[in-house]
Amino acid sequence: MIRKLLLSTAAMLSLAATAAAQDVAIVNAKVWTGTSAGTLDNATIYISDGVIEGMGVNFAAPSGTQTIDVGGNWVTPGIIAPFSRVGTVEVGAEDSTNDTSAGGSPFSVALRAADGFNPAATPVAVTRIEGVTRIAVAPSNGASMIAGQGFLADTSGSPGSISNERAFVYINLGEGGADLAGGSRPAAWSALRGAFADARGYPARFMAHNEGDALTRADAQAFGPAVRGQQLMLVSAHRASDLRLVIDLKAENPNLDVAIVGADEGWMVADELAAANIPVIVDPFSNLPASFSQLGATSRNAERLIEAGVPTAFAHLGNSGHQSRLVLQSAGNAVANGVSFDDAMAAMTVVPAAIFDMDGVGSIERGNRADIVVWDGDPLEVSSAPSSIFINGEPQSLTSRQTKLRDRYLNLDESEKPLAYKR
Amino acid sequence: MKPLIYLMASASLLLAGCGGDDGTSNGDGDSADPVEINRNPFPSTYTPYPSTTTLIKDATVLDGIGGELVGGDVLLVDGKVSEVAEEIAAPDGATVINANGKWVTPGIIDNHSHLGVYPSPSVSAHGDGNEISGAVTAEVWAEHGIWPQDPGFPRALAGGVTSMQILPGSANLFGGRGVTLKNVPARTMQGMKFPDAPYTLKMACGENPKRVYGYGGGRFPGGAPYSRMGNVAGYRMAWAKAVEYKRKWDKYADEGGDPPTRDLELDTLMGVLNGEILVHMHCYRADEMALIMDMSEEFGYKVASFHHAVESYKIADKLAEYDTCSAMWADWWGFKMEAYDGVRENIPMVHQAGACAIVHSDSDIGIQRLNQEAAKALSDGRRAGIEISKADAWQWLSANPAKSLGVFDQTGSLEAGKDADVVIWSGDPFSVYSQAEQVFIDGALMYERGNDALTPVMDFELGQPGEGDLK
């Protein structure tokens, strides 16, 4: 605990350190603000001390500020990938490099994905250079339906990039969770109720019995904040009946802070989700009856959820350790399938920032952190790419291991020296 | 003494044998009635659905072989492409479609799909794509594992996919035969089977075979290969046997006598050596592809396409020289070591080197938006200084996969006489916002967005949540 607290403090200090970035003004920008101001043409964004000090069409940065004229191009808040494993796995199939799950661990809630985060992992830069500046990283289920605790980080790759190392508890209440809990949904829900009781009874019941119904001592302690509604509980489920059980859980425990990831059949219970104010993180690509829990999967899920008033974020859920960057493509596809451009942008910025309680992130407005992306085209177009990226006001590198490999092999001429000499 | 009849059949090897003989015996050993292997025992029953003469007017047309026509017309007659021109007069009785603002392309051909053999829902009973009982299973055929009711087929259709190759998985060194299908719903596999398309053979390099066999955790199936050395030894031993088998059959064809004992595994490999069956090989690493190219020359066959080919950009010159295709993703990477060096510019870099580049899916999700995958690759290439036109890039989606499957004489471009496998897109198909609005297969309108009457729903989805829902 103490070590973790110290780490948290270090992270804060590091954030403060990056705030010393040079002041800069982005001018002549088409800004999707993420606020009621909508999209502004020919706007200026003034970044000072890592935050947005001012912005607007008639706003002028102090004279002498370094200026970047983006020629009328799109500027958006940094994109948030709200369900990712970036930085916790280098090569998926190589267990030695993969810290996403722990099938051999006796712990569940107490597992902290943050302990496995490597800001220098190659997927971090690969993700960043596509415009994704923040990631919510979940552990994967190993031995338990409760995978552990997820964290929030930026994609700068710097040592202090974790902003909240215990942002949420991730629980699988779909087919996978049922399997891990013993083989059925009843087993999963019994385990969850037991876990709630263990957390609420902590530490007393562990003094008397020295073990909980469902959790170890460390897990019961770690589950406390989520059970008390002080920490987000992120639940994975698809089937409408499973989603109703989650809605019921919240009705029985109104203080819970619950969000759902997956929710392929969310549209079937959209009004109930909206009434319960339960946000969802959906993958707009998911339109196949991939399992018997996803028979209602449709490309129109996002549109219907948003129309019903459900706070809806987007994620690309496939290969989440390496391809979270595809959230932008998935958002573009959501627009092709009925979602408005503004709602699609919000689903990668404002909405996930709210779900994860990310302070000062997700919109371009005065006082917010300067997480900003300048694009060479429509940000949702597959043909577009960032031309500049700022995280906490710091300009970011647009290179990755992949761009270095590309540059080495763009010309295959080895007449003078092998390509291994070329960097 | 040469039996004359057999010699003739042998000269046209794609013809089916007559009489349905099982090939192991001709009954009475009469040399006047020689044993012949039936090369087509599960023949296609697909015939094109009824179509009208259709004139698509005033579209941006990509002909699939590098041509672009703005404000062009496309005429489909009797299930074939009849003409592509700036202005075509509507024949009597033609259905005329005003496609102003829309784009027209050849239908997308995915040369790497597991639809049907790994269908949705992906329950345990549906895993019919890997016969992992042995490292060499050239005797199995993907078409025997295809469930034509896979809900993935109509979704691929809605993505503009008109043909696809269904392959066995990559667990084995030799995974078995692949089959090319028209993406037309049918009650049977034969009802989808692309008429006269050659068979293919799936092979696999690298991590998968050695992980599944040698490192099967000491459990089933176990055994060789344990290493890339074992992989190559496994291929070569099988090819050596195939050479011997072919020699026996050739000798029998020349000299008669007792027919060789039939071996289904070696039938497939002999088909490759005879040039009838096209090799499609899962291979990620550049250095492995180079080994495979040498091996193919050792045994006298050619690789039609490397698949996944994540490192093709490292040897694009050698691939061009050997003259094979690379079927690639736009940006998949990192899920295993041999996919670690993936770059976003792989496809344009291969194209730039003059080698055959293909966008493939290997995914029931990816197959629904292969046009977007091409768009990503195209734009990433341009940012790296590789200028390729959209018209040229469309070759990655139709002409080149058709060539790799041996069906380019029938489909894959909008040339007169080709199958009218055509997509009308709502706009530029290199935009994320564009969708396939109408999909023609052999001239018949098989899909129309927003029209329930032209949206197939598989049996599995009837009576289920979301039946016939917008997908």
- Token couple for B284: 């990620």
Pick A9 or A121 by higher pLDDT.
Answer: A121
Instruction: Report, as an integer, the average pLDDT of B136-148.
Output: 98
Total residues found in chain A within this entry: 423
Q: How many CA atoms lie within 13 A of B143 on its CB side?
A: 26
Nearest CA in chain A to B379: A383
The predicted model gives A263-267 an average pLDDT of 98
**Shortest Cα–Cα distance, B44 to chain A (Å):** 28
Contact B344, B322 (CB under 8 A): no
Q: Inform me whether the C-beta atom of residue A103 falls under 8 Å from chain B C-beta atoms.
A: no
Q: What is the pLDDT of residue B13?
A: 37
Report how far apart, in Å, the C-alpha atoms of B232 and of each of B8, B288, B315 are: 36, 10, 20
Task: Over range B207-235, report the average pLDDT.
Answer: 86
Q: CATH homologous superfamily of domain A79-359?
A: Metal-dependent hydrolases (3.20.20.140)
B401 within 8 A of B109, measured Cβ to Cβ: yes
Task: Please enumerate in sequence order all residues whose Cβ is within 8 A of that of B305, keeping only pairs 6 or more positions apart, or say none.
Answer: B111, B278, B280, B281, B324, B325, B326, B327, B356, B358, B404
Alpha-carbon span B192 to B334, nearest angstrom: 35
Cite the beta strand spans of A265-376 per DSSP E. Answer: 280-282, 312-314, 372-375
- Mutation to test the A interface, candidates B115, B313, B318, B335, most A Cβ within 10 Å: B335
Kindly report the number of other CB atoms within 10 A of residue B226's CB atom.
15
Distance (Å) from the C-alpha of residue A120 to the closest C-alpha of chain B? 15
Say which of A123, A286, A383 has its CB closest to residue B375.
A383
Q: Is residue A65's pLDDT more than 80?
A: yes
Q: Rounded CA gap, A99 and A94, in Å?
A: 10
Residue A4 has pLDDT above 70, yes or no: no
Report how far Cα B270 is from the mean position of its chain's Cα atoms: 20
Distance from CA of A346 to the nearest CA of B (A): 18
- pLDDT at position A208: 75
Q: Could you give the CA distance from residue B382 to residue B348 in angstroms, rounded to a whole number?
A: 8
CB contact (8 A) between residue A410 and residue B334: no
Q: What's the pLDDT tens digit per position in A82-123?
A: 999 999 999 999 999 999 999 999 999 999 999 999 999 999
> In chain B, what is the straight-line distance between the N-terminal and C-terminal CA atoms, in Å?
63
Closest in A296, A322, A336 to B333, CB measured: A322
* Element of type H or E holding A29: strand A24-32
Nearest to A300 among B152, B465, B470 (CB): B470
Q: Any idea how long chain B is?
A: 471
Identify the residue among B432, B434, B469 best suited for mutation to test binding to A, counting A beta carbons within 10 A and taking the highest.
B432
Minimum-distance CB partner of A290 among B121, B342, B464: B121
The answer to whether B405 and B416 are in contact (CB under 8 A) is no
Report CB contact under 8 Å: A288, B120.
Answer: yes
Residues of chain B positioned with their CB less than 8 A from the CB of A265? 465-466
From B238, B270, B244, select the one nearest B173 (Cα to Cα).
B238
Which pLDDT belongs to residue B154?
97
Banded model confidence at residue B32, pLDDT cuts 50, 70, 90:
low
Sign of the torsion angle spanned by Cα atoms B331, B334, B339, B342: positive
CA distances from A224 to A168, A197, A227, B126, B434 (A): 12, 10, 5, 41, 48
- The helix (run of H) or strand (run of E) holding residue B181 is strand B174-182
B344, two tokens = 């976003």
Best of A304, A382, A408 to mutate (most B CBs within 10 Å, chain B)? A382
* A224 vs A226: CA distance, rounded Å: 6
CB spacing of B121 vs A292 below 8 angstroms? yes
DSSP string, A82-142: EEE-TTSBSSTT-GGGB-S--TT-S-STT-BGGGG--TTSHHHHHHHTTTEEEEEEPPPPS
What values do phi and psi take at B218, rounded to 5? Answer: 75, 0
For B375-443, what is the HEC assignment? HHHHHHHHHCCCCCCHHHHHHHCCHHHHHHCCCCCCCCCCCCCCECCEEEECCCCCCCCCCEEEEEECC
Q: Would you tell me which CATH number, out of the four given (3.50.50.60, 2.30.40.10, 2.60.40.10, 3.60.21.10), belongs to the domain A9-77+374-409?
A: 2.30.40.10
ipTM over 0.90: yes
Helix axes A217-227, A185-201, angle to 10 degrees: 90
Which DSSP letter does residue B91 get? Answer: P
* Strand order, beta sheet including B303-308: B108-113, B161-166, B174-182, B200-204, B278-283, B303-308, B325-328, B356-359
Taking the C-alpha atoms of residue B464 and residue B466, their distance in angstroms, rounded to an integer, is 6
Stretch 378-397 of chain A: residues touching chain B, C-beta under 8 Å? 380-385
Task: For chain A, give every residue range classified as CATH 2.30.40.10.
Answer: 9-77+374-409
- Give the model's pLDDT for residue B466: 82
Give chain A positions within 8 Å (CB) of B342.
402
Residue in A299, A322, A381 nearest the CB of B471:
A299
The answer, yes or no, to whether residue B246 has pLDDT greater than 50, is yes
Q: Chain A, 167-206: which have a CB under 8 Å from a chain B CB?
A: none
How far B308 CA sits from the closest chain A CA (Å)? Answer: 16
Residue identified by tokens 């040339």 is: B415
Using the beta-carbon criterion (under 8 Å), do B384 and A380 form an inter-chain contact? no
pLDDT value of position B469: 84
pLDDT at B460 over 80: yes
Of B46, B28, B48, B36, nearest to B3 by C-alpha is: B36
DSSP string, B249-299: HHHHHHH-SSPPPP-HHHHHHHHHHTTSSEEEEEE--HHHHHHHHHHHHHH
Q: What residues contact residue A253 under an 8 Å CB cut-off, 6+ apart?
A: A196, A227, A229
The residues near B415 (Cβ < 8 Å, ≥ 6 apart) are B63, B65, B81, B84
Instruction: Assess whether pLDDT exceeds 90 at residue B302.
Output: yes
The mean per-residue pLDDT over the stretch B325-331 comes to: 98
What chain A residue is nearest to B429 in terms of C-alpha separation? A382
For B93-111, the pLDDT digits (tens) are: 999 999 999 999 999 999 9
Query: Taking CA atoms, what residue in A is nearest to B380?
Result: A383
DSSP 3-state of B182: strand
The per-residue pLDDT for A311 is 98
> Which residues have C-beta within 8 Å of that of residue A99, sequence separation ≥ 6?
A88, A89, A113, A115, A116
- A92 and chain B in contact, CB less than 8 A: yes
Instruction: Please determine, for residue A9, whether its predicted confidence score (pLDDT) is greater than 80.
Output: no
Q: How confident is the model at residue B5 (pLDDT cuts 50, 70, 90)?
A: very low
DSSP label at residue A295:
T
Nearest CA in chain A to B469: A298
Nearest CB neighbour to B461, from listed A92, A123, A289: A289
CA distance A157 to B9: 66
| Residue of A93, A292, A382 with shortest CB distance to B337 | A93
- Which residues of chain A make contact with B460, given a CB cutoff of 8 A? 289
DSSP 8-state symbol, B136: B
Average pLDDT for chain A:
94
8 A C-beta contact, residue B194 and residue B46: yes
Report the residue from B341, B431, B469 with minimal CB separation from A298.
Answer: B469
pLDDT digit string (tens) for A278-332? 999 999 999 999 999 999 999 999 999 999 999 999 999 999 999 999 999 999 9
In whole angstroms, what is the distance from residue A216 CA to residue B303 CA? 56
Chain B partners of A336 at a C-beta cutoff of 8 Å?
A: 432-435
| Closest-approach residue (CA) in chain B for A87 | B334
Q: How far is B131 from chain A (nearest CA, A)?
A: 21
* CA-based nearest distance A111→chain B, Å: 23
**What's the CA gap between B166 and B112, in Å, rounded?**
6
